Structure 1
């Protein structure tokens, strides 16, 4: 009996340790899970001064983003694209799935250039072609 009391005292003096290694592993797994499953909305890579609209809606995460700059350049995925190549790019992206096309046009972009871009997207097979705008808050 005396021996058991000595063992108990020795254990109390040593203290109890909590192993947090499994907890750290779980936290890192959760972090990796959230980073991998997060979907980011990709912008076009150029600065665009969007027009204002009260009826503006949020961008879809799976959209094809095409920008028309103030100097009438067409930009897709951060690269300048010619009007002739735009149809092929849009057709390739849409062939994978029925993806909406969102055109982000600068306020100073020519209306004629914007119509040309919309036409090329429609000819490529895009069913949903929308224009992006900043939502006006009341």
Structure 2
């Protein structure tokens, strides 16, 4: 009888929970959330935005174009110039209809700002907005 008792005790010591299927599920969920996350692409240049009391939060998925005080047009950290606005906006709008947001510096000439807006509209952008700061209350 002692032999059976010893065998039963040995089997009980080896019993455990296999967590490898759980780890597989966790990694699959992690990959799913990484793939479906929408990343905001910044312009890559620091701009001193003007303040506006009527500013509202825009959707995150948009085309961000910066206009510096020196009159440089920047997208994704590189200067594209006025001639690069129209092809960029056309290419981005082929995937889906998204708004164009212009981050213009307060010292940027208004004529250049109008030109950036005009180029975006000529490329087919339905919504062109200006990025501003909400004044401190």
User: Normalising by the residue count of structure 1, what TM-score does the alignment of the two structures yield?
Assistant: 0.85
- Structure 1 window deviating more from structure 2 (33-42 vs 16-25): it is 16-25
Which secondary structure does the structure 2 equivalent of 1:67 belong to?
A: strand
Aligned-residue Cα RMSD (Å) equals 2.0
Q: Work out the CA distance in 2 between the residues paired with 1:19 and 1:9.
A: 20
Structure 2 unaligned blocks of 5 or more? none
1:49 counterpart residue number: 48
The number of residues matched between the two structures is 137
Q: Give the distance between the partners of 2:74 and 2:67, measured in 1 at CA.
A: 6
List runs of 5+ in structure 1 lacking aligned partners.
none
- State the match for 1:92 in structure 2: 91
Q: 1:101 maps to which residue?
A: 100
TM-score in terms of structure 2 length: 0.85
Task: Kindly provide the CA deviation profile for residues 54-77 of structure 1, in whole angstroms up to 9, marking residues without a partner as x.
Answer: 332223232111110111100122
Q: Report the Cα offset of residue 114 of structure 1.
A: 0.6
Aligned equivalent of 2:70: 71
Determine the C-alpha separation between the residues in 1 that align with 2:21 and 2:135: 49
Task: List structure 1 runs of 4+ shifted beyond 6 angstroms.
Answer: none
**SS of the residue 1:104 aligns to:** strand
Answering whether residue 129 of structure 2 is matched by residue 130 of structure 1, we say: yes
